[in-house]
Structure 1
Amino acid sequence: MRKPLGVLALVLGVGGLGLWARAYNAHEIEQKITAEAAGIVAPAIHGITSTVSGRDITAKGIADTEAEKSGILAALNGLPGRRVVHDQITVLPKVSPYEMSLTKAEGAEALTAAGSVPSEAFRKDIAALPGHPDPGPLVLASGAPADWDRLVKAAAAALQPLDFGTASLTDDRLVVTGQARTPAEADLVHAALQDLAADRVEVRLDLLDDGTPPEWHFSYDAFSGAQVSGKLPVGLDEKTISAATGIPSVYSPAHQALIGEPGHEAALLGVLAPWFPSVERLNANMAPGKAEIFAEVGPGSNTALLTETLQSGMKAISPELDVSVTVQEVAPRGDEGEQRTNAITGQTEELRGGYWLPVANITPSLTECTAQADAILGRSTINFVSGSDQLSADARAVINQLASVVLPCTGTGGLQAKIGGHTDATGDAEMNLGLSQRRAVAVRKELIARGIPAGDLRAQGYGASQPVATNDTEEGKAANRRTTIEWTGEGPQ
């Protein structure tokens, strides 16, 4: 009896040991397969995972290409001891051509991105590039060139110096377009791309300032106003031109220089400012160290004096300036009695006897005519060349204003005007009396030329006999050198 029991115990012991050994080996095999499978999928670009149950392997995730997927599955199938490999790997779509763009909008600091990205890791890298592009819109896709990261980094760096622009990548080519302020910014763009092969890069930039010297053209027309074109120097724009010339509005299709230092341009235009009320047309071509002025003025202007005045005034501001000034008298445009609004003064003017005269808002009477004539002569002096009866270059505009009052006052107003000439007390009294008479006659002649009947005008010289200020100071002497209007007649009945 003991012998059969012993045999049974031995058989059971041996069988149990075999079952234990088999289970132990299976666990070891599973652990080994798990470790080896993890090593096979670890290099996958997009993070493929492997799980092992018993000796069955499940591979799950995204392969970059069919070749990567096939290689992983073949390696898993070659593992010793594996039973079945379950394929749950999808292949990333491949795009061709492989494209991506980075865009810098005007006024924006951050770049925007569009197109494809080769991996999630690369998506994170993009966000850290200059300009911190938002990689969110990028679509995960395979097909990128081997040095795609290098191209993208260069593209982001190239956009930084631009006001705005786009870097477009297509396979292994990069095209950068946009606007740079000056050649210095354009050089920075090229520097960012210098490590790339020249045949793989194209740069198309617009420069706000190409570095050429500023050359510009200023034009004025009494009918239509002022315009400036070309390339304006630093510190000069339509606002500074308007302030310098007194012209209320300046049309400017010109562009602005960004390189250089402000010059004397505004001051040079300021030399022209006092003369615009007498100018019909004016053109000025300006360049560094050079100014060409061509002006057309109406009848009654002293063109020689005006030419000399403009030239000497500009030379005083910029002695090294090469100045050319041409002033010529032209017949007025328009028909007798036609009206216009003067572009610089804003006054309504009427063409009378070949002169554009301001239209005075006046109801003629002795009191009103005296007040308006005195106001004109109080704020503006009719000047003469020193020691002579030759009217100065700026006298025409004052006489035009005076004529606009004298015309209605002697016409519908029925008054007569006596033009008085006055000097200071410097020099011989008798010579001053004669000079004042000749100057009064010169003013009378100009008023007659503007359509005022000669019979309504008299000229009287007073010399220094009627001072309005002391002759002991230059200011007082200047005040005493004047023209006056005295009215006679009863006026409208």
Structure 2
Amino acid sequence: MRIILGSIVMIAGIGGLTLWGATERGPGVEDQIRVAAEAATRGAVHSIKAIVSGRDITLTGIADTEEELATIVAALDKVEGHRGINFDTVDVIPVADPYSTALAKAGDGSLNVSGFIPNAAAAATLEQAGVVGATDLPLASGAPDQWEAAFTAGADALASLDHGNFALTSTKAMLSGVALSAQRAEAARSALANMPSGYETVTEIEVNDPGVVTFELRYDPVTGLDLDGSIPETLGPDGIAAAMGLPAPSGEIVTTDAAMEGLGDMLTELSAVLPDLNGLTLRVEDGQVAEATAQVLPGLDIALVGSVLSEALGRISVDFTDPVIDAEPGTTRQNIATGETEVLHEGHWLVKPDFDVAGAVCTERAQDLQEERRIGFLTGSAELDKPSLAVINDLAGLVLHCTQAYGMRVTIGGHTDSDGDENENFALSVARANAVRNALAARGISPQKMVAIGYGETEPIASNDTEEGRAANRRTTFDWQG
């Protein structure tokens, strides 16, 4: 009886230990196996994941080679406590021999790639750099050492060419294509020289350099720059656009190692007169300005604009043609030189303000417009000086905007300093106010919306004892009622 009872107690004890081991020790062993398995797969070239269930290990993902997979399995086989390893679901990528990848650049700058890629990270990097199809390339092992550095050097070299091809076959790098100047060809060769040690390079670069600066530049206030011909490599199309304060030009452009002295400075000076132009054509031959044709905006003085334009272009003669305005009245456009929205009104392109009309706001805006460029007159006369015509053009858009609302009218005030006879100053101020009113009416502003009043010397804003004060007092004011 005692023997039977003892056996029962012993069996119960063994069962309890087994249950304790399963509930208390089991999860701990599984966690240890999982940590060890993750460490064994962490250095894989591609993504290999170890799934641990109980004491069994299952591998999934992509192995770079059979050797890499065998190394991982051998490491897992040493994990203490594991029971079995299943790696049937791991795909081993093929070996490429020779290992070849090619990059093609079209004339529009687009890039296309073909061949093999060593891993997903390299494919993503190429795709982000604008290489179309990089992430669709098949994975293959067998890439030579420092493959990514070699391919990057080739891609950098190809970037200096207008169009061409770069092919990396094992450790042989081949670059061919067309460079638009000797400088760009040299830049391509210099980039290719960054190949890692052990790589062989072959280059076939054709230089398409006309050797002379010859181009035609066309400016339009809506479409911007259009450029055809050969320009200095040192400036390039972006440099020309930057000098003129405009977006990059369109057109058929090549660069040359030839120089044109002072071209950048000339274009920078030219940018100052662009707001006064409705079009410009500039022809350069053999590094010299050969011809210039321009259209001056209606309402401006052609002689004044022409003198500024001629000075900017090296004092050459400029031919002027009538502005071509092929648009219906009320048409709006964005002036690319000024950034302003303009509306066609009575044959004039007037700036179209963007604010709600209110008397005080309109008065303030008129003052702001005259902060840097004031309306001026010939000495002792009611004749507007030539620079004032551009100011009148700007003010016409504001007056049109502010008088369109019901009941809104503007009072144009003429003011003089205290020099001379008081009565003569009063008469001069009336004449000058009317001259401004007439100039605005010529730009399509309704005369019924404008009142001209002369104040003479009665409303000074500065002391008449200094020249600066007297200049400040000689002014034209705009006040809105309604």
After TM superposition, the structure 1 = structure 2 runs for residues 256-267 of structure 1, keeping only pairs within 5 Å, are: 257-260=255-258, 263-267=261-265
Q: Does 1:373 align with 2:371?
A: no
2:452 — aligned with what?
459
What residue number does 1:218 align with? 217
Given that residues 278 and 396 in structure 1 are in contact (C-alpha distance below 8 angstroms), is that contact kept between their aligned partners in structure 2? no
Q: Which residue of 1 aligns with 2:275?
A: 277
Does the CA-based 8 Å contact 1:332-1:355 persist in structure 2? no
What is the aligned partner in structure 1 of residue 235 from structure 2?
236
**Cα deviation digits, residues 314-365 of structure 1 (max 9, x gap):** 4xxxxxx461212333252211122222222232222111112222223222
Per-residue CA deviations over 1:364-405 (Å, capped at 9, x if unaligned) read 222122122222222432345667555455544432331222
| Equivalent residue, structure 2, for 1:150 | none
Q: How far 1:253 moved relative to its partner?
A: 4.1
Superimposed CA distance per residue, residues 8-46 of structure 1 (whole angstroms, 9 cap, x where no aligned partner): xxxxxxxxxxxxxxxxxxxxxxxxxxxxxxxxxxxxxxx
Is the alpha carbon distance of 1:459 and 1:329 closer, same or farther for their aligned partners in structure 2, counting shifts above 3 Å?
farther
- 2:207 aligned partner: 207
Q: Indicate the residue corresponding to 1:347 in structure 2.
A: 340
Cα pair 2:378 2:385 within 8 Å, conserved: yes
Equivalent position amino acid for 2:261 in 1:
G
1:268-347 pair list within 5 angstroms: 268-287=266-285, 288-314=287-313, 321=314, 323-330=316-323, 332-347=325-340
Cα distance in structure 2, aligned partners of 1:256 and 1:475: 52
Q: CA-to-partner distance for each residue in 1:440-471, whole Å, 9 max, x for gaps? A: 33321221122222122233455666554567
Contact 2:213 2:259 in 1 (8 A): no
| Mapping for residues 58-457 of structure 1, pairs under 5 Å | 178-179=177-178, 206-208=206-208, 210=209, 212-247=211-246, 249-253=247-251, 255=253, 257-260=255-258, 263-287=261-285, 288-314=287-313, 321=314, 323-330=316-323, 332-384=325-377, 389-422=382-415, 436-457=429-450
8 Å CA contact retained: 1:348, 1:359: yes
Counterpart contact for 2:212–2:256, Cα < 8 Å: no
CA contact (8 A) 1:282 1:293 kept: yes
**Deviates most, 261-270 or 464-473:** 464-473
Q: State the AA in 1 paired with 2:269.
A: V
- Distance change >3 Å, CA 105–CA 483, structure 1 → 2: same
**Distance in 2, Cα, partners of 1:406 & 1:388:** 24
- State the number of aligned residues: 312
Corresponding residue SS for 2:321: strand
Question: Are 2:359 and 2:479, in contact at CA under 8 Å, matched by a contact in 1?
Answer: no
Q: Distance in 2 between matches of 1:426 and 1:254?
A: 60
The alpha carbon displacement at 1:265 in A equals: 1.6
Alignment CA distance shift 1:182-1:299 (3 Å): closer
Distance of 1:367 and 1:331 partners within structure 2 = 37
One-letter amino acid matched to 1:226: L
How far apart in 1 are the matches of 2:283 and 2:381? 35
> For residues 206 and 474 of structure 1, what CA distance do their matches in structure 2 show?
67
Deviation at 1:407, TM superposition (A): 1.8
Question: Equivalents in 2 of 1:429, 1:375: separation in Å?
Answer: 29
- Alignment match, 2:76: none
Structure 1 residues 257, 389: CA separation in 2 closer, same or farther (over 3 Å shift)? farther
**Which digits, 9 at most, give the CA deviation of each residue in 1:37-59, with x for residues without a partner?**
xxxxxxxxxxxxxxxxxxxxxxx
Alpha-carbon contact 1:296-1:330 (below 8 Å) kept: yes
Alpha carbon RMSD of aligned pairs, Å?
4.6
Amino acid at match of 1:263: E
Normalised by the length of structure 1, the TM-score is 0.51
The residue that corresponds to 1:155 in the other structure is none
Structure 1's 460 and 250: CA in aligned 2 closer, same or farther, altered over 3 A? farther
| Aligned 8 A contact 1:302 1:391 in 2 | no
Q: Aligned to 1:357, what secondary structure does the other structure show? A: strand
Distance 1:322 1:369, change over 3 A: closer
Report if the CA contact (8 A) 1:364-1:413 is conserved.
no
The alpha-carbon distance between structure 1 residues 416 and 220, as it changes in their structure 2 partners (threshold 3 A), is same
SS of match in other structure, 1:250 = coil
**Structure 2 counterpart of 1:206, which letter?**
E
Deviates more, 1:419-428 or 1:264-273: 419-428
Distance 1:428 1:331, change over 3 A: farther
Cα distance in 1 for partners of 2:474, 2:290 equals: 35
Q: State the distance in 2 between where 1:410 and 1:222 align.
A: 27
Structure 1, unmatched stretches of 5+, are 1-102, 107-135, 138-158, 167-175, 188-202, 315-320
- CA distance in structure 2 between the partners assigned to 1:400 and 1:419 by the alignment: 15
Q: Distance in 1 between matches of 2:229 and 2:469?
A: 47
The one-letter amino acid of 2:249's match is Y
SS in 2 for 1:414: coil
The amino acid that maps onto 1:269 is L
Secondary structure of the residue aligned to 1:227 is strand
Change (3 A) 1:323 1:378: same
**What per-residue deviation string (whole Å, max 9, x for no partner) do you get for residues 135-194 of structure 1?**
x99xxxxxxxxxxxxxxxxxxxxx9xx97989xxxxxxxxx975467579999xxxxxxx
Q: Say if 1:424 and 1:291 are closer, same or farther in 2 by CA, change over 3 A.
A: farther
Identity of matched residues, %:
35
- Cα deviation digits, residues 192-243 of structure 1 (max 9, x gap): xxxxxxxxxxx996324x3632122221112212222312235423433333
Are 1:235 and 1:262, in contact at CA under 8 Å, matched by a contact in 2? no
- Paired residue secondary structure (1:324): coil
Tell me, in whole angstroms, the C-alpha distance in 1 between the residues paired with 2:337 and 2:183. Answer: 40
**Could you tell me which amino acid in structure 2 is paired with residue 223 of structure 1?**
V
TM superposition score normalised by structure 2:
0.52
Whichever residue aligns with residue 279 of structure 1, its letter is L
- Report deviation, 1:472: 7.6
Q: What amino acid sits opposite 2:444 in the alignment? A: G
Gaps of 5+ in 2: 1-101, 106-141, 144-156, 166-174, 187-202
CA distance in 1, matches of 2:267, 2:450: 38
Contact 1:299 1:331 in 2 (8 A): no
Letter in 1 for 2:306: T
